[in-house]
Chain A
């Protein structure tokens, strides 16, 4: 620990042993703890205060690495109190106490401890102290000073002799500076520092410090938009941090914060529910208060304002007790948003929202949150008809936005300024455009409002385009969700079917895979409908509406209430699942009447308002929300009627074009059976018997992926698993594991028709409309024009009967949608649906 690298031979062996224990504490805390205790006992026997103080510090550092902050502090205080210990040894113990006090929730006291240590330390130790002060400064929100302290320290440490301890503080200083950079949202600078820290610590054998920097990679990866990579880093960090519960919990809490910012509240909740108890147990009060605040935010986002309010109030009390006043507005924001969800709006609540937005604005790190809250305050003021307050708040969000000057004479402007608004980095584009749209609609300027919304959505689109991974695209698009909802509401209130259709398609195109991005006009849709109809569902807050396009008409119809429809769908799915899971010959459950009744109820709520418009031809359904989980074939009025499900009208037009470009001649059919099913192989045999050019491949992922490249039709008979939380992990169970939607992201092509004879294989979750995530979407994105898949559990035997008949009908020249409708009617197995465009025969 001393800055004078004396050869160990000339120095006191007890002090050398104690210093060796200090050095080991980071590399091997368990061993350092034993060594420290051993040296401490020897030093006390020999009445050697210097060795005693150093040994106590070694024990403390090891305890801290093992997550026992209380013991770390206790031993450091003992070291400081050691009688006759040299002042520089006491100062070194204080140096270590700085970060421990900070982590236990007393950053202000930590700075005081640092001040006491300063005068007795060598220049090199002062640099080390600075790396620790930085943590306390950052906790207090004094980011500028924290960065300055790290910069100063790192300049000294880079030229230090290079003992393991020097390198440890060099790497630690880089780690701390990287973390402060990330607090300030400077992700690239953060990544640079953390990568440098990782390199130095790996080279120096500081395995634990390497793990610490690696533990921040999940968080940083999310912030840089790489969620799949983040989960990979997370799994690695989870393994490397095993046995360090406090570090693991802190990593999870940080990761959760990033997931939260990436619009993944469900994932964040799962992380925090693991992290909070561990942080409570290890007494890490600082990290605990932050994790609790995040948990409050998650509770709010996942629909529990009561819990959100309770947890936020608890977090606020903890943060206040730690003098962390810069965090309090964040906790207050959660409380106010929760109250807004629970109570009627009052002038007092609006005033509090405005005040909280003002407070958030005082901190450079919270400007975006401040803007979002200001918009909420303006909307709340509008709910009270308090236009002056609303306008004043909106003006603060739009003052830097340049507008198209409505009075500029035609021809004097070369470019439309509204299409390229001035960028104000502090106000997120969707928030600013939403404010502009609200301002315009307050002045009854619908055209201006729509223009503002469109501009905002195309900005969101641009950001979405930077991602390839469909789930990242979908989650990036969520930034535009409230703006899109506002625009849709405007269109619905305008009552023009064409406008609602165009707007719904525009929003669906934001997150859609690139092939479905070219807009579909009603005329392009009509061109392929024949005698059929396309129904595009949209949700305007709690109201479910539908735009119906037929050869003759374009109509907007109010369908009903979103919640009632959703509950009816949940009941229908439940009835279907109970029927498939029932032990046969159980009359109580096998009663077909349950399914029939539940189907009639969905039909009554969802289709009765539309039946007059639908005619009796094939139907194309564009679902919204819970309708993505509806097995349409189970609705009695659609019996024997071809139905295709598609993510958007544009996606359907595209899939039809793909289907029409198919090559001539009999299709090449490939089929495979998964494990652990009695009827799967027989089904495959039946399917192949229907087609002149068919072959079976082994039920293994590699064989199936290879078959995808040449086949025109792929049929899989296997178990299916749907993961609502990570829909791209959903898959079909093959003999060697799951064939996941993720595996399909890199394939060069996909067969025109894919039939997934498996439970739940047609299930999708749409974080945003236009990009349902699941197996059907994954195949369609790779060039399939039609996917037939199950939306509920199906019985092994029933699936075989249905699929054998389906392929017989396809082989006689029926298109897939009609073949499925007919086979479902004949076998009574209604749990499958046809996705994409299913109206083109294969023969």
Chain B
């Protein structure tokens, strides 16, 4: 299975048979730098479809869930850039912050008392959100790719 292949590849690498190209190491370091230590990962979940609305097409909806948090995201594509609006339930409480991350930048926003947040003008591409709550582990969504 795939894990065996990884294991064999790791053995080959470790024995020095197969030196790692420089750009691979650099990419690995970059990817490692994107992790949020100790974060709980929120996995994609099912979105409820809307009915009875006079809207010809829904916008881009994504949902991520953990045992105790649900992230609802809506991505709108404008003139080449994207706006992200979202809602976290149940409300993560006083002092909670949301980080909207792309591989190159992190934008921090306060979550409104009703659990909503928004960022605008992001480049399309990979996107992940981290919810920081007071006195609890951060929760990070999986990376999702938004295509323009």
Contacts and interface: CB of A to CB of B under 8 A. Distances in A.
Instruction: Answer yes or no: are A and B bound together in one complex.
Output: yes
Contacts of A577: 59, 74
A724 B89 contact: no
Nearest to B79: A266
Given A302-B80, A574-B87, A724-B79, A793 B114 contact: no
State which size class the interface on B falls in: 35 or more
B55 A793 contact: yes
Interface string B34-72: 000000000000001010111111110000000000001
A757 B54 contact: yes
Interface string B62-105: 00000000001010111111010111010000000000000110
A421 B87 CA distance: 55
Given A307-B125, A591-B114, 18 more contacts: A273-B148, A303-B123, A304-B123, A563-B121, A570-B118, A570-B120, A574-B87, A575-B114, A593-B114, A594-B114, A598-B112, A626-B120, A718-B54, A719-B56, A721-B57, A758-B54, A760-B55, A793-B50
Contacts of A566: 83, 120-121
A841 B85 CA distance: 39
B53 A794 contact: yes
A678 B120 CA distance: 35
A571 B56 contact: no
A273 B147 contact: yes
A132 interface: no
Given A563-B120, A567-B120, A574 B85 contact: yes
Interface of A: 265-266, 269-270, 273, 298-299, 301-304, 306-307, 563, 566-568, 570-571, 573-575, 577-578, 580-583, 588, 591, 593-594, 597-598, 601, 626, 677-678, 718-721, 724-725, 733, 757-760, 765, 767, 790, 793-797, 799
A626 B122 CA distance: 14
Given A299-B123, A574-B74, A574-B87, A759 B53 contact: yes
B148 to A, nearest CB: 5
Contacts of B77: 724-725
Contacts of A797: 52
B112 A719 contact: no
A588 B113 CA distance: 13
Interface of B: 48, 50, 52-59, 72, 74, 76-81, 83, 85-87, 89, 103-104, 109, 112-114, 116-125, 147-148
A681 to B, nearest CB: 13
B100 to A, nearest CB: 11
Contacts of A718: 54
A456 B119 CA distance: 35
B123 A307 contact: yes
A99 B119 CA distance: 49
B148 A304 contact: no
B52 A759 contact: no
Contacts of A758: 54
Nearest to A718: B54
15 contacts: A265-B80, A298-B80, A299-B123, A566-B83, A571-B116, A574-B85, A578-B87, A581-B58, A598-B116, A719-B56, A760-B56, A767-B79, A794-B53, A795-B52, A797-B52
Given A302-B123, A581-B50, A269 B116 contact: no
User: Which of the listed residues A304, A583, A733, A767 has the most CB atoms from chain B within 10 Å of its own CB?
Assistant: A304
Contacts of A588: 89
B80 A677 contact: no
A578 B83 CA distance: 16
A307 B104 CA distance: 9
Contacts of A767: 79
Contact of A573 (B85, B86, B89): B85
Nearest to A574: B85
Given A303-B121, A578-B87, A733 B50 contact: no
A724 B78 contact: yes
A577 B54 CA distance: 11
User: Which of the listed residues B55, B74, B89, B113 has the most CB atoms from chain A within 10 Å of its own CB?
Assistant: B55
A304 B79 CA distance: 13
A50 B49 CA distance: 68
Closest 3 CB pairs of A and B: A721-B56, A581-B50, A304-B123
Nearest to B54: A759
A270 B148 contact: yes
Contact of A799 (B54, B89, B114, B123): B54
